């Protein structure tokens, strides 16, 4: 087994872990929605899509054997995380400024018309408002936690690439 294979193996294991964490975050959101009655807003649903895309691209990337394929999937993970960070950042801003609308009138029909809203309405259909204050989890709102997760993804994925490919380039 070559040194390059071992390094790419570390990247693949990290991608699997990242995918599992993203699916767990979606599961946590569903728990809070179904059990605790916290209705998701359009921005919440868009963040779920971003986490789902990160998980899908991470799992596909973990299955790739070539460095180029792995890099392409990691780039898609980064694009999804960037989208998620933008949405979560806007959500945090909306919660800090309740007079600002999250665009429920504009966003709800768009988000509700996406394919997953039809296939899995419980998990991907809008049912709430972005400015609704829910109790914080460990001092942060859900939008803040999502923003932390997206930013960590944006930082850790490139760091892992640099770390694992630095000596083998």
The model's pTM: 0.87
Q: Which CATH number fits the domain that encloses residue 84?
A: 1.20.1550.10
What local confidence, expressed as pLDDT, does residue 126 receive?
82
SS3 category, 100: coil
Distance CA 135, CA 137 (A): 7
Distance CA 93, CA 58 (A): 28
What local confidence, expressed as pLDDT, does residue 169 receive?
46
- H-helix or E-strand containing 85? helix 67-96
Domain count for the chain, please give it: 1
Q: What is the mean pLDDT of the chain?
A: 85
Is residue 11's pLDDT more than 50? Answer: yes
Q: Which pLDDT tens digit goes with each residue over 69-100? A: 888 999 999 999 999 999 999 989 888 887 77
Its domain, for residue 7, covers: 3-165
- Cβ neighbours, 10 Å, residue 166: 9
Is residue 117's pLDDT more than 80? Answer: yes
């Amino acid at each position: 087994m070559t040194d390059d294979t071992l390094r790419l193996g570390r990247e693949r294991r990290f991608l699997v872990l990242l995918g599992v964490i993203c699916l767990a975050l979606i599961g946590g959101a569903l728990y809070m929605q179904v059990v605790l009655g916290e209705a998701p807003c359009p921005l919440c649903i868009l963040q779920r899509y971003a986490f789902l895309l990160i998980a899908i691209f991470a799992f596909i990337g973990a299955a790739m054997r070539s460095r180029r394929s792995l890099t392409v999937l990691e780039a898609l993970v980064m694009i999804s995380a960037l989208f998620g960070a933008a949405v979560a950042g806007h959500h945090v801003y909306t919660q800090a400024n309740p007079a600002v609308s999250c665009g429920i009138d504009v966003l709800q029909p768009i988000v509700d018309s996406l394919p997953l809203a039809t296939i899995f309405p419980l998990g991907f259909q809008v049912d709430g408002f972005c400015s609704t204050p829910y109790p914080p989890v460990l001092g942060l709102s859900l939008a803040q936690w999502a923003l932390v997760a997206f930013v960590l993804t944006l930082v850790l994925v490139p760091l892992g690439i640099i770390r694992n490919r630095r000596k083998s380039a």
